[in-house]
Structure 1
């Protein structure tokens, strides 16, 4: 991947949406809700603190995370969709 996040940014690949409901009903593509889970692909260097040091991240590459509905910015690189967000947008590590 040629996408390198800067400072306190994180690159996340959204997980695939489920094509069936819990009851087994098949959903068409337009009825699927965008998943709010993704895999962390890259993390930046960390936020620059007043002391000149960088803060560390609680998430690491490879973590599966849960994030808010409107988290981050969607970008497309080499026909792949990614989200670039800050750690504040992440709610939990699964």
Structure 2
């Protein structure tokens, strides 16, 4: 199934956090928080301003991002868990 977000929405796949701390302590699944890092899978065309002009998105497919902890709506497509969120929920783009 192919999914195309509308307006200023993006589709994000969560990136898994490390399961072992720097000190070598293994973190059990029950103690882990959901990751706030993800990769943009798809992005809409952008927000439409009040004057009718389209404002382009600040992120693109493939960008690695940090987003709000409780951002977006979780969906499951073909067994894969994804998030749909607004561009406003993105806090930063990770540049390597």
Extract structure 1 runs of 4+ deviating beyond 3 A: none
1:28 aligns with 2:25: no
Moved more, 69-78 or 14-23: 14-23
1:87 aligns with 2:84: no
1:61 aligns with 2:61: yes
RMSD: 1.1
Greater share of strand: 2
Counterpart of 2:47 in structure 1 is: 47
Shift of 1:54: 1.2
Q: Which runs of 5+ in 2 are unaligned?
A: none
1:21 & 1:3 partners in 2: Cα distance? 36
Which deviations, in whole Å up to 9, do the C-alpha atoms of 1:16-43 show, x marking residues without a partner?
A: 1211112111111111111100001110
Shift of 1:4: 1.2
1:8 aligns with 2:8: yes
The normalised TM-score by structure 2 is 0.91
Aligned to 1:30, what secondary structure does the other structure show?
helix
Q: Which runs of 5+ in 1 are unaligned?
A: none
